[in-house]
Amino acid sequence: MRSPVAMTPEVRAALLEGRAVVALESTIIAHGMPYPQNLETALRVEQTVREGGAVPATCAVVRGRLCAGLGADEIEDFARKGRSIAKASRRDLGYLVSTGSNGATTVAATMIIAHLAGIRCFATGGIGGVHRGASATFDISADLQELAHTPVAVFCAGAKSILDIGLTLEYLETFGVPVLGFKTDDFPAFYARSSGFPVSYRMDSPEAIAQLLRAHWGLGLHSGVVVANPIPQPYALDGGHIEEAITQALADAEKERVGGKELTPFLLARIEQLTGGLSLKANIELVCNNARLAAQVAWAFATSNEGGA
């Protein structure tokens, strides 16, 4: 039976040999940043993973195939086409496969592809979560349910600042998802290093994180694990300034009746305008920072005494 995931020869070989592999999402390419910053960032993140001793596997749906690993030409195609490519979460995968379409994978869809391929570590910018006002809108990201039952470690700069971070953490706790803080006791808030909410456990080395991952999954626990990695201090933005921009962006979204899967890209683009481009610079740096840590942990996981991919 044909594998549901197409892999580049490099990714396939690395997995067969038990070497470190890090999954990367493609929504950040098509929907998260403008061209050409999206292309430059995608290639820089892949290089960062390589420098950390792991093989990058950018995930996407390409002509109806789930892909773990894209060629440079495919990454450029996604970057140039941008938002004309469908944003793909769990509910969209069957449709895209059945119609032979392209899809830029979100955190949830990338976790699915990574798991099917046998990749344990995945680096992104920030996870989705419970949106502000969700008590009225029920707008809760599919990322949270994916974390509840898909055994992949997600390396992120916390949850996106546009979310209700407190409720997001409560949701993760309810479904038994460990939230680790890398060298921090405080859950980061994407652009800002601190959200004011605690993590489940603080971890101070990639080796310690790899050991926890192996123990968690070795016990037969099938949830994902959030590894929260604060944005580097030089690129962190002032929490008050970001909150003002978020408040304005949310008001603009309501005025223009933007919702559903279009809400997050709209808000991020509007915040970039309101911060004079500072949020985009911060976004790029935090993604690279997460990719660096994910590669280190993937290497430690793969080279531990018991081996494994």
> From the CB of residue 36, how many other CB atoms can be counted at a distance below 10 Å?
11
pLDDT at 109 over 80: yes
Q: How confident is the model at residue 2 (pLDDT cuts 50, 70, 90)?
A: low
Q: Supply φ then ψ for residue 62, to 5 degrees.
A: -120, 115
Q: How confident is the model at residue 309 (pLDDT cuts 50, 70, 90)?
A: very low
> Out of 10, 25, 74, 306, which one is annotated catalytic?
25
Q: What percent of the chain has pLDDT over 90?
A: 81
d(CA 60, CA 284): 19
pLDDT at 28 over 80: yes
188-205 per-position pLDDT tens digit: 999 999 999 999 999 999
pLDDT of 53 reads: 96
Q: Does 160 participate in catalysis according to the annotation?
A: yes
Instruction: Please name the residues in contact with 274: beta carbons below 8 A apart, sequence gap of 6 or more.
Output: 244, 245, 248, 249
d(CA 118, CA 68): 10
Tokens of 130: 């419970």
pLDDT of 79 reads: 98
Tokens of 170: 């409560």
pLDDT at 301 over 60: yes
Q: How confident is the model at residue 167 (pLDDT cuts 50, 70, 90)?
A: very high
Average pLDDT over residues 112-126: 97
pLDDT of 238 reads: 84
Q: Using the 8-state DSSP alphabet, how is residue 219 labeled? A: T
C-alpha to C-alpha distances, 231 to 8, 42, 97, 189, 245, nearest whole angstrom = 30, 18, 35, 9, 18
Q: How confident is the model at residue 307 (pLDDT cuts 50, 70, 90)?
A: very low
Average pLDDT over residues 196-224: 97
pLDDT at 210 over 90: yes
Residue 145: closest CA among 115, 121, 171:
171
* Radius of gyration of the chain from its Cα atoms, rounded to whole angstroms: 18
> Out of 74, 146, 160, 272, which one is annotated catalytic?
160
Q: Using the 8-state DSSP alphabet, how is residue 60 labeled? A: E
Tokens of 197: 């909410």
**Taking a C-beta distance cutoff of 8 angstroms, is the pair 161, 173 a contact?**
no
Which domains, from first to last, does the chain contain?
Answer: 5-236+283-302 (3.40.1790.10)
Q: Does 25 participate in catalysis according to the annotation?
A: yes
What is the pairing mode between strands 55-62 and 21-24? parallel
54-98 per-position pLDDT tens digit: 999 999 999 999 999 999 999 999 999 999 999 999 999 999 999
pLDDT of 289 reads: 98
d(CA 199, CA 24): 23
pLDDT at 308 over 60: no
Please state the pTM of the whole predicted model. 0.92
| Cα-based torsion angle of the residue sequence 171, 300, 232, 288 in order, rounded to the nearest 10 degrees | -90
Tracing tokens 């018991």 back to the chain, one arrives at 306
